[in-house]
Chains A and B, each alone.
Chain A
């Protein structure tokens, strides 16, 4: 997706969630292929015992969202997977490119309510834009450990050290470890 030269294309966000089994991706992409849709961007993963797919797809205009929705309705009736289709506005098609430093923030500690909320609220209040986020519950039943990993684009004027300072007091409050490191790409 290096440029946004897609004036004649209609774009849709497709969200799929299904009890995990072999063949979900094949079923979904078969529908897209048959309709002549292109997968512009996608992220799919197992979540618990489900498999979740998020895709941005495009099709030459004119193309009705109902065509997608009808196909996925059929798939839902046959396999039980749940699908949701949304039309994307022009300004939702291209990725927002951050101006500032990119950083990786890792948070882990004994499980407790509010870890994700408190960390992301502190970041949001300073205009830090999260670009990727994953969480997992690890450890044992007796000692559950919560792990959060996120990548974020810092706004102009906020350094990695600033971001670290911003989260410093949460370490004590939530009793978690928080690490921040720069991952700004190198050009070769």
Chain B
């Protein structure tokens, strides 16, 4: 289960609506392992979605526990299969960057708190109430499952072009 290459826009799979997963089998377990390894390998990465490594299934992983913005408030490693947002509240703007869109960052408004339901890596249903940076990261990764990039959500191109650095 090695780290996979991150696809970069304009790769078509990044704009593809991903299919739900039927159940956790060996193939899905392997995909989850690849996603975790890819996230661990990415510089300061706090999440990876399956389409970013070329698999158009509704699976993503998020872990903000090692990041500066998320270390105080998180659920550790979240493996999310078929995730759905059941509730959202508040709104705040954060400047986001994405491994699939190198060297660009933009301001995106997202909910500050979400309740998300999904199957975990063992196929067990879970419900998580996330807030702050973790909520932003989950929304960003879940967008990938719908073929939505942060470029679809930014209001202005004016910002950006800053080096991605010091993410941890």
Please list the residues of chain A having a beta carbon within 8 angstroms of any beta carbon in chain B.
1-2, 43, 95, 97-99, 102, 131-132, 151, 153, 183-188
Contacts and interface: CB of A to CB of B under 8 A. Distances in A.
Given A2-B104, A151-B159, A186-B69, 17 more contacts: A2-B102, A183-B159, A184-B95, A185-B95, A185-B97, A185-B162, A186-B67, A186-B94, A186-B95, A186-B136, A187-B46, A187-B99, A187-B164, A188-B45, A188-B96, A188-B99, A188-B140
17 contacts: A1-B103, A1-B161, A2-B104, A97-B162, A151-B159, A183-B159, A185-B97, A186-B69, A186-B94, A186-B136, A187-B42, A187-B43, A188-B46, A188-B98, A188-B99, A188-B136, A188-B141
B5 interface: no
A180 to B, nearest CB: 15
A186 B167 contact: yes
A185 B161 contact: no
Contacts of B150: 188
A98 B103 CA distance: 13
Nearest to A151: B159
Interface residues of B, number: 34
Contacts, number: 63
B159 A132 contact: yes
Contact of A185 (B45, B96, B99): B96
A97 B163 contact: yes
Nearest to A183: B95
Considering the complex of A and B, which 7 residue pairs feature the smallest CB-CB distances, nearest first? A185-B105, A2-B103, A188-B140, A185-B95, A187-B167, A97-B163, A187-B44
Nearest to A134: B158
Given A185-B105, A186-B69, A186-B167, A98 B136 contact: no
B47 interface: yes
B99 A132 contact: no
A186 B94 CA distance: 8
**Mostly helix, strand, loop or mixed at chain A's interface?**
loop
A43 B136 contact: no
Nearest to B140: A188
Interface string B30-47: 000000000000111111
A40 B11 CA distance: 22
A188 B137 contact: yes
Interface in B22-78: 42-47, 67, 69
Contacts of B140: 188
A185 B107 CA distance: 9
Contacts of A43: 158
A132 B69 contact: no
Contacts of A2: 102-104
B133 interface: yes
B73 to A, nearest CB: 14
> Taking each of A131, A153, A184, A188, which has the highest tally of chain B beta carbons within 10 Å of its own beta carbon?
A188
Contacts of A102: 95, 162
A52 to B, nearest CB: 14
B165 to A, nearest CB: 8
A187 B45 contact: yes
